[in-house]
Structure 1
Amino acid sequence: MENAGFEKPDHEEVDLGEPSKVEKVVDSDEKDVYFQMSVDENEEKGKAMTKEELLKYSQSHKWRTARWTLLIILFIGWCAILAAAISIIVVTPKCLPWWQTTVIYQIFPLSYKDTNNDGFGDLKGITDRADYLESLGIGAVWLTSVFASGGKAFGYDVTDFKGIDSRLGTLDDFEDLVDALHGKGISVILDFVPNQSSDEHEWFNKSSKDASGGSGNEYNNYYVWSDKSTPPNNWISTHGGPAWKKSETNRKSYLHQMSSCQPDFNWRNDGLKEKMKDILEFWLEKGVDGMNMHGIQFLYETSKLDQDEPVNPSFNDMLYNGSLEQYDSLKHYYTSENTLTQDVLEDWRTGIFDDYSTAGGYRVLMTNSDSNTSYVMQYYGKSGENKADIPQNFNLARLSGQMGSDVTGLHIADIISEAISELPSGKWPNFQFGNFETRRMASRFGETVNGDRYGRPINMLLLTLPGTPICYYGDEIGMEDIELDSSYVYQDILAIDDPANAAMKTREYELSPMQWDNTMFAGFSYNKTWIHINDNHDQINVQAQENSDASMLSMFKALTKLRSDNRAFQSDNFREFTILHSTVNVVAFTREPDDDSNEYLTIVNFGTASTVTDLHELNEAIPIEGVVAVSTHMNRNGNTVQLNKIKLDAAEGLVINI
């Protein structure tokens, strides 16, 4: 740009820049003075304030305001964190222990799968079927007695409590089975036999040599002995006839509340108690996840052996053949349900079972006492007491007769309601329709007018009820009782001990081999079976049902999956559970979650003909319609149904998402 009228300077301007950027040049003397001034200034700045100055400064309005502001912020933050933690605890659904969320599947090992073709099922056979067990959606396998035995009482005449029945395999086979099932996420429960041993057991042989109660040997008081060679009282065994037998060794009598080959232990003996604890530890060390105490009600009897039990005035002797005295003819005040049994259970639960229960590895304690509801509830213990986790409820398993007349929806609803209402606070319910001492559920309840049996609606009811369901092997495919004709030679000790009533007492009807396929031996074995196969195995078998989406097996799997996937079936809010509706034919109830997930309605028709039910009119909280999650014949899954006019065929049931 031109100078615009100004003359160009005869020298160039120098850009001095910003004043702060001008470097001061000083000589050496000035440097010394400048350095000394800087030191003096820094020392003045770094001089500490006195206590009085600090106090005066801290009390200024500005700093008091800053401190209170900071404290308030911290307090609000702490409250927010606490509120969030409480909210998470309250809102998050409670995680239940494994035995409360699972389905327990009982197996009679002699009848499940034979791998060495001797005609007897074995432990390897169960191991071989681990994939099948996993596919069922069950979470625990419960084995009836696997202990070494005399072979007379289906494993309950134990000769070695730390050994395995030779027909079933070896201890190594058992360990392999536990590993295989654990690898599938399936727990293992064993039947324990605390009440008796075999008369061939080493302890009994040693005890019978000196039953005087003296100090002759360690075992002399391990069993219940009477000094008399004849029965000291009128006690009757559960198998019929006197509960006492004379020993040919010492000429005294021993107590056997079951068969004479099963002498009763004396639980007042401390040495015996320690032996049994040691045995429990042995199996828990092997990885067993729980024990069922079989025959627990007989553990103690009165110590006064001269006391007779009173006659049962309601006993009907017309139900029995022959002259043998029957167990039901007496009231068993002195031989059953002794209160001392409760002390043993509490000692086990709070002692050895808790000792072996670790994170994720709780050891469950079950009992089976064939007693009324009041006695069964005692095995739970009162609120705050720890005894049995699962005292088995057999009331549904006792039902028998034609559905719709002898057994009705009202009966079933009453049993369910009583079991839940009578439950002690903090305890957990359980239900079952079948086990190895009860006729098969598909055979107990007759047929519909169309010839259908009731296995499907029973399974549906069982798998959607509150609590832990217990299923019996083969019930998932609708296995039925086998027929035993007049020429049949009974193998059950119950039948052998009372021949005149063998057909009524034997358990062999429900012990037939598992029906795996339609081959000659049903896939159980290749050449023989210890008891005959049901003739209908060509139609009712696992292989056929695995290939059918409409089969009972497919329904069973769909129900176990529904149960495991939905909080409505996995919560502990069953105290609010009630039967929504019950008639002679129909039972209906809802299952509510403990979060905002889906609610479900189960409705089953136990009648012999079709029904139509209006649930919306009965309870306006029930919506007008819902979507079927699972139907008994798998043909209505996904359908929308009107809940004010639910039509069900005989022996049909629905689980509906509402």
Structure 2
Amino acid sequence: MTRTAPPTTDDLSAGAVVHTPAGNSEWWRDAVIYQVYPRSFADGDGDGIGDLPGVTSKLDHLKQLGVDAVWLSPFYRSPQKDAGYDVADYRDIDPLFGTLADFDEMLDGAHGRGLKVIVDLVPNHSSDQHVWFQEALAAAPGSAARERYMFRDGRGPAGDEPPNNWQSIFGGAAWTRLEPREDDGPVGPQWYLHLFDTSQPDLNWENPEVREEFEAVLRFWLDRGVDGFRVDVAHGMIKAAGLPDWEGQVSMVEGTVAEGDVPATDPGAPEDGSTGAGHNGPMFDQDGVHEIYRSWHRVLEEYPGDRCLVAEAWVEPLSRLARYVRPDEMHQAFNFSFLTAPWDAARLRTVVDVSYSTMDAVDAPTTWVLSNHDVVRHVSRFGLAEIGGRQLNGIAATDPQPDAELGLRRARAATLLMLGLPGSAYLYQGEELGLPDHTALPAEVRQDPSFFRTDGAEPGRDGCRVPLPWVGGAPGNGFGSTGKTWLPQPDVYADLAADRQYGVEGSTYEMYRTALELRRAEKVGGSTLSWVDALADSPDVVAFRVAGVVVLANLGAEPLVLPADAQVLVASGDLDTSSDAVAVPSDTTVWLRG
């Protein structure tokens, strides 16, 4: 967008209201929640793997940053075939991460600093080492033990074909056949369903025993004092009756474009806000999941303190996602349509518009997110010349590499835009340091099952899971006392380490800290939002008013001149002051009064 004359304050006047807050006071409606991936956050015992004592040691970092809550990825007892998302015991801590006493200390430390704590729950599948699955393997077909999982006879005269044609999210068939037994039926050994790795058998959520067990698991952690649960694969627990074949193509890793979805690179802006972030098919988003969440909602209502349920549901259009957060179900759902939206003003405005209209209709907060442990960090994603489905989930050394400078500039701008949106926001550990993915990991260090199940065709998610740098230049950049790191860190992490950004004007950490301080002081999270009329149809600018602040993101090639009396509160990058007027350069966001 090119301006021929400096704008006035009137050019930044508010237009029609897009979102009005519900007026409810629950903490999760406007919270900024920080995701901790424990194995990569901080190492307390020097073995090269992060742990709960490591998390406790860095709680002051989170408090000073200004977040409201912490979400921890799985720390349960597990064989770690999928980094803990293969749970062997839902009521215990894996020795890699510590003990239940370590968890209690971490929880007390967080609560003592005013931080809420959300823990991950993985209900779609268990580990194959879970006592239930071991009992199922030892039991006969048709037994109660096998009814806890999705066991089926195979097709064909000898039962040697899978029960249907479903594919695993991680690549390959979604069915594995058991070894022969004397008590097998007439078509031989049964098969079991695993939408993910073979070590992650899907549970049968039509079985009342499974439902009762997970309600007991919820109560176990609620009794310890947790403030909520992030629910893994929340859209996948109920399968279509009869498990029919599906002619679509299941993506290899969550969030990847599937056949029939709208690609993230599609230049159009679908009216429903779709970006290709959703899964369809008979294994996902079945209506039966909603009764599960109604029952869980009732469990949480037994406890004080506004406990919450957060859905990880790769569902589109957003009208389908809104079903998960109706008043008697879950409380939040990740907005993956926003995460996967390209750096395009029209597409971003559409996603924001539709997000508010659909979530407001069910009295739920809109939840914003740009990075997590399953997708390429947005610093690297926005540095790619073209963002497609595959690049969401991993970049290999042989792939086109991100432009580091462009990626960081756009990522900072996108973050400042996101933090200006009312609702709840999620930050992924290390994004406050501007960390990129490690895009040159050698094959011999990779651990993501999707890499192995696709024979390396899918790079996997290891690049976004590299241990954090706390002290630049120290062994392991201060991740732990010994310098060991379970994945190698890229060289650039030394310069991006936390200690090299604290108190440094213009650093990414200080931008985040300042924005979060302003967000709280201005009560942005619980405020009304209106588009700025004069820029509402701009191909280059996203601009809105919220809580007396104008948030303006310049996505175009030309600088955008600010009104002479505008007061800049925070900017994602240096502003152009080469002339009498102050201008916002390309790929830069500002918060201002004016």
TM-score w.r.t. the length of structure 2 is: 0.81
d(CA) in 1 for partners of 2:101, 2:520: 32
**2:414 is the alignment partner of 1:458:** yes
Instruction: State the match for 1:652 in structure 2.
Output: 588
Give the conservation status (yes or no) of the 8 Å contact 1:310–1:332: no
Instruction: State the match for 1:292 in structure 2.
Output: 230
d(CA) in 1 for partners of 2:61, 2:406: 31
**2:39 is the alignment partner of 1:110:** yes
Instruction: Name the aligned partner's letter for residue 650 of structure 1.
Output: S
Instruction: State the match for 2:510 in structure 1.
Output: 554
Change over 3 Å in CA distance of 1:246–1:409 after alignment to 2: same
Instruction: State the match for 1:414 in structure 2.
Output: 350
Q: Work out the number of aligned pairs and report it.
A: 514
Change over 3 Å in CA distance of 1:211–1:415 after alignment to 2: farther
Instruction: State the match for 2:219 in structure 1.
Output: 281
Instruction: State the match for 1:386 in structure 2.
Output: 328
Give the conservation status (yes or no) of the 8 Å contact 2:31–2:423: no
Instruction: State the match for 1:233 in structure 2.
Output: 164
Secondary structure, in 3 states, of the residue corresponding to 1:235? coil
Give the conservation status (yes or no) of the 8 Å contact 1:549–1:634: no
| Shift of residue 98, structure 1, vs aligned partner | 1.1
After superposing the two structures, state which structure 1 stretch, 180-189 or 484-493, moved more: 484-493
Instruction: Name the aligned partner's letter for residue 150 of structure 1.
Output: P
d(CA) in 2 for partners of 1:284, 1:511: 28
**2:320 is the alignment partner of 1:375:** yes
| Shift of residue 486, structure 1, vs aligned partner | 5.0
Instruction: State the match for 2:555 in structure 1.
Output: 606
1:10-42 deviations in Å (ceiling 9; x for gaps): xxxxxxxxxxxxxxxxxxxxxxxxxxxxxxxxx
5 Å-filtered alignment, 1:33-432, equals 94=23, 96-214=25-143, 218-228=144-154, 229=159, 230-248=161-179, 250=181, 251-305=189-243, 307-311=244-248, 315=259, 332-349=280-297, 351-356=298-303, 358=304, 361-372=305-316, 373-381=318-326, 385-399=327-341, 407-423=343-359, 424-432=361-369
Q: Which has the larger radius of gyration?
A: 1
Give the conservation status (yes or no) of the 8 Å contact 1:189–1:292: yes
What is the aligned counterpart of 1:565 among 476, 498, 521? 521
Give the conservation status (yes or no) of the 8 Å contact 2:409–2:573: no
d(CA) in 2 for partners of 1:449, 1:156: 34
d(CA) in 2 for partners of 1:114, 1:657: 42
Instruction: State the match for 2:8 in structure 1.
Output: none
d(CA) in 2 for partners of 1:577, 1:584: 14
**Which structure has greater helix proportion?**
1
| Shift of residue 393, structure 1, vs aligned partner | 0.7
d(CA) in 2 for partners of 1:553, 1:582: 32
d(CA) in 1 for partners of 2:110, 2:441: 38
1:508-555 deviations in Å (ceiling 9; x for gaps): 111111111212311102231100112112211111110312211111
**2:360 is the alignment partner of 1:434:** no
1:329-348 deviations in Å (ceiling 9; x for gaps): x9853211111101111111
Give the conservation status (yes or no) of the 8 Å contact 1:150–1:159: yes
Give the conservation status (yes or no) of the 8 Å contact 1:195–1:299: yes
Give the conservation status (yes or no) of the 8 Å contact 1:211–1:221: no
Secondary structure, in 3 states, of the residue corresponding to 2:379? helix
| Shift of residue 471, structure 1, vs aligned partner | 0.7
Secondary structure, in 3 states, of the residue corresponding to 1:339? coil
What is the aligned counterpart of 1:513 among 445, 458, 467? 467
Give the conservation status (yes or no) of the 8 Å contact 1:312–1:331: no
| Shift of residue 490, structure 1, vs aligned partner | 2.0
After superposing the two structures, state which structure 1 stretch, 137-146 or 422-431, moved more: 422-431
Give the conservation status (yes or no) of the 8 Å contact 1:225–1:253: yes
Q: Which runs of 5+ in 1 are unaligned?
A: 1-92, 320-327, 401-406, 593-598, 617-623
5 Å-filtered alignment, 1:565-584, equals 565-567=521-523, 569-574=524-529, 581=536, 583-584=538-539
5 Å-filtered alignment, 1:569-648, equals 569-574=524-529, 581=536, 583-592=538-547, 599-607=548-556, 609-613=557-561, 625-633=565-573, 647-648=583-584
1:354-385 deviations in Å (ceiling 9; x for gaps): 111x1xx110110001121232121112xxx4
d(CA) in 1 for partners of 2:194, 2:412: 40
| Shift of residue 460, structure 1, vs aligned partner | 0.7
Change over 3 Å in CA distance of 1:482–1:449 after alignment to 2: closer
Instruction: Name the aligned partner's letter for residue 281 of structure 2.
Output: Y
5 Å-filtered alignment, 1:435-514, equals 435-446=372-383, 447=403, 453-485=409-441, 487-503=443-459, 506-514=460-468
Change over 3 Å in CA distance of 1:408–1:362 after alignment to 2: same
Q: Which runs of 5+ in 2 are unaligned?
A: 1-21, 182-188, 251-257, 264-275, 384-402
Give the conservation status (yes or no) of the 8 Å contact 2:121–2:229: yes
d(CA) in 1 for partners of 2:67, 2:408: 26
Q: Percent identity?
A: 28
Give the conservation status (yes or no) of the 8 Å contact 1:195–1:298: yes
| Shift of residue 220, structure 1, vs aligned partner | 3.1
Give the conservation status (yes or no) of the 8 Å contact 1:111–1:512: yes
Change over 3 Å in CA distance of 1:151–1:486 after alignment to 2: closer
Instruction: State the match for 1:32 in structure 2.
Output: none
Give the conservation status (yes or no) of the 8 Å contact 1:413–1:582: no
Instruction: State the match for 1:540 in structure 2.
Output: 496
Give the conservation status (yes or no) of the 8 Å contact 1:309–1:332: no
Instruction: State the match for 1:44 in structure 2.
Output: none
Give the conservation status (yes or no) of the 8 Å contact 2:322–2:362: no
d(CA) in 2 for partners of 1:602, 1:550: 18
1:391-448 deviations in Å (ceiling 9; x for gaps): 1111222245xxxxxx322222222122112222422111111111111111111259
Secondary structure, in 3 states, of the residue corresponding to 1:221? helix
Give the conservation status (yes or no) of the 8 Å contact 1:460–1:559: yes
Change over 3 Å in CA distance of 1:189–1:109 after alignment to 2: same
Give the conservation status (yes or no) of the 8 Å contact 2:408–2:434: no
Instruction: Name the aligned partner's letter for residue 468 of structure 2.
Output: M
| Shift of residue 176, structure 1, vs aligned partner | 0.5
| Shift of residue 454, structure 1, vs aligned partner | 1.9
Change over 3 Å in CA distance of 1:159–1:199 after alignment to 2: same
| Shift of residue 164, structure 1, vs aligned partner | 1.0
Secondary structure, in 3 states, of the residue corresponding to 2:220? helix
d(CA) in 1 for partners of 2:406, 2:280: 44
1:63-84 deviations in Å (ceiling 9; x for gaps): xxxxxxxxxxxxxxxxxxxxxx
Give the conservation status (yes or no) of the 8 Å contact 1:244–1:254: yes
Instruction: State the match for 2:390 in structure 1.
Output: none
